[in-house]
A and B are shown apart, each in its own frame.
Chain A
Amino acid sequence: MGLSIKSKSLKVKLQIAFYLTSLIPLLFLGYIVFFQNTYVSYQYVLFAFLVALIIASSGYCLMKNMIFPVIDVSNKARAIASGNSGFQVEIEAEDEIGDLNIALDKLNDRIRDNIKELDEYSKRTNQINSDLNKKIMSLSALLQIGSFISSSAKIDQVLGLIIEKVSLIQDNNSAMLFILDDKTNEFELKYSAKPFDKGLESLRIKQETNVWHRLMHDKESLVIDSNSINEILKIEGVPDLINEIKAKNCIIFPIVLQTRTKAILVISNSNNDFCFTEDDLEIVRLFSKQIAIAIENDFLTKRAHELETNDEATGVFNERFIRARLDEEIKRAVISQRPCAFIIFKIDNFQFFRQCFGQGNCDDVLKKIARILIENSRNIDKVARFGLFEFALLLPELNKRQALEFAQTVRDRIVSSFKSEDKDKRITVSAAVSENPIDGASADELIKHAKGLFENAQAKIENRILS
């Protein structure tokens, strides 16, 4: 495209204007002064000046018509240079000024296109930056959550943190976590990034609705946004859920643990004309994995705790173990028509002892008694810590009389082992003996009976055997 300014009429116009404003009036006046020898009247001179003035004025007008567009074009060029691409001046000259104006317009258009293109690039760059930022935030949050999980934090704190972090990934987001209630088989709202709105705390995803089936059995997520709203609303339960959540857009994501949906993560917002991206889904997927890990970790920790059989302080079995074992032994006793005894040894005045001598001395006493109990029991007997100041013994195939004898012997040995101590540190113990079948047909009944003997004793129990 040729944008070069060709010589058109500007030069001629300039020459004409020059002639009209200077040369022609001067020549005309010179002619009047020098070549009219005859008397020149005053009126004639005035007329001659007037004619010269008119000629000069027409020259001036011509010059003005040439100069003003130049000024306009100059202003336009200055405006473009200062970044005002919307500056418009209509110049209808067909001369070089017109060409210059057209060239400036084209230049302006090109600049405007470039600016638009730059804007596009800028927007895309912003989007990329925002996506990157989102991913960095997600990664940082995931790292934080990971270290929180591995620091054995409580499940409530971990899930609370995950929900808080996932809600920060996008502006105006809200996050909720529904946990499966094993009794009702419904998903109950347990965690939210914000305090629960009124009425929301009892929110549930009810059993046997299509949305429940989709999450529970099909394990499919639901994405509700301006793209999918019409289709998704057809699913039974979804409109109610959206109304209750009070959101326009949401991702409802099942969290699957060992092939079973255990929880549901809901990310929502109320933005208009909003669509979730693949990246959003991917981030939700990552967070849901963390939730699954946290839930499983909690389950395994509890399971490991349940599987612990020994008391840390004394090394003997713990209460949970002895309870379970007692039930087993009773079942065995029933089949073999044999008795099974259970004894609780309680350290007398141990609370007072602890206040006087501290936990360190208490631990020593506990360890010493545990050792005596183990030394005096048979291979088939089981010794356990049973509460703060108590030990329990499970004695298979001993009846009431035999168990009472055993309790007496052990009580005496414990008491005599502390005889050499200072008077205040001389420990005594009392025992309560229960037996299957006389005192009960289950572990709970035997334990209840033995504990009841201590609780129902009229006088202060010290160094006694109760039955």
Chain B
Amino acid sequence: MSQSFRRVVHKKLGEILIENKIITKEQLDEALALQNKRKNGLIGEILVELGFATEEDIANTLATQYGFPYLPLANYDINADIVGLLPSNVAKQYCLIPVDKMSNTVVIAIANPLNEQALEDVEFVTGCDVKVFISTSSDIRHAIKRYYK
């Protein structure tokens, strides 16, 4: 991955949310317990599901803490050729969508920018460097539904 904004903070999302007083320690424990019980699932999505945080809280936290820019995806139209850079499987599984391409860099909106494997896969498929924007999961899913038919 050749991005300049590679992750340098190693704190986990839950801890950052507690620091930012968006959730309490007990709420995090409850969400982690549910994650363990399901043996799967993303902590951010579980916190949203339990009503302890909003998608925007998660996206903003990730944006401010890790320095990823936030993209309110609902306000943008995406070129179909750009969407075609990635197969729908990849977009759906990693909850991301390509939104632009500038020379050898593809710009993507992703709900979890910490998913480095996903970013690597995007690089592998497109053959381009990746620039990351954060969006909420629901905005990305709507966009996927809209553009991948």
Contacts and interface: CB of A to CB of B under 8 A. Distances in A.
Interface of A: 332-339, 397-402, 435-438, 440-441
A338 to B, nearest CB: 7
A337 B94 contact: yes
B121 interface: yes
Nearest to A339: B117
B120 A401 contact: yes
A437 B90 contact: yes
Contacts of B89: 436-438, 440-441
Contacts of A339: 93, 117-118, 121
Given A437-B87, A438-B125, 10 more contacts: A337-B118, A338-B115, A338-B117, A339-B117, A397-B117, A400-B120, A401-B124, A437-B121, A438-B90, A438-B124
B95 interface: yes
Contacts of A335: 40-41
Interface in B81-119: 87, 89-90, 92-95, 112, 115, 117-118
A177 B93 CA distance: 52
A402 to B, nearest CB: 7
A433 to B, nearest CB: 11
B42 interface: yes
Nearest to A442: B89
22 contacts: A333-B93, A335-B40, A336-B40, A336-B41, A337-B94, A337-B115, A337-B118, A339-B121, A397-B117, A399-B117, A399-B121, A400-B120, A401-B120, A402-B117, A435-B121, A437-B92, A437-B93, A437-B121, A438-B87, A438-B89, A438-B90, A438-B124
Interface of B: 40-42, 87, 89-90, 92-95, 112, 115, 117-118, 120-121, 124-125
B112 A438 contact: no
Contacts of B120: 399-402
Contacts of B41: 335-336
B124 A400 contact: yes
Contacts, number: 55
Given A337-B42, A441-B89, A400 B121 contact: yes
A397 B94 CA distance: 12
Contacts of A436: 89, 93
A285 B117 CA distance: 65
Nearest to A441: B89
A124 B87 CA distance: 86
A333 B121 CA distance: 14
Contact of B112 (A333, A337, A440): A337
Given A332-B40, A437-B87, A438-B87, A337 B121 contact: no
Contacts of A440: 89
Q: Which of B40, B42, B92, B112 has the most CB of A within 10 A?
A: B40
Nearest to B35: A336
Nearest to A440: B89
B94 to A, nearest CB: 5
A324 B58 CA distance: 36
A329 to B, nearest CB: 11
A378 to B, nearest CB: 15
Contact of B93 (A337, A400, A401): A337
A400 B94 CA distance: 14
Tell which of B93, B124, B125 has the most Cβ of chain A within 10 Å.
B93
Contacts of A334: 92-93
A48 B132 CA distance: 170
Contacts of A333: 93
Contacts of A398: 117
Nearest to B123: A401
Nearest to B111: A337
Nearest to B90: A437
Nearest to A467: B124
Nearest to A331: B40
A332 B93 CA distance: 11
B38 to A, nearest CB: 8
A437 B112 CA distance: 16
A397 B117 CA distance: 8
A396 to B, nearest CB: 11
A327 to B, nearest CB: 15
A401 B121 CA distance: 8
A438 B42 contact: no
Nearest to B125: A438
A435 B121 CA distance: 10
A333 B92 CA distance: 12
Nearest to B119: A399
A288 B56 CA distance: 69
A333 B95 CA distance: 12
Contacts of A332: 40
B115 to A, nearest CB: 6
A73 B65 CA distance: 138
Contacts of A401: 120, 124
A29 B112 CA distance: 163
A328 to B, nearest CB: 12
B59 to A, nearest CB: 15
A401 B87 CA distance: 17
Across the A-B interface, give the 5 residue pairs with the lowest CB-CB distance, nearest first: A437-B93, A437-B89, A399-B117, A335-B40, A437-B90
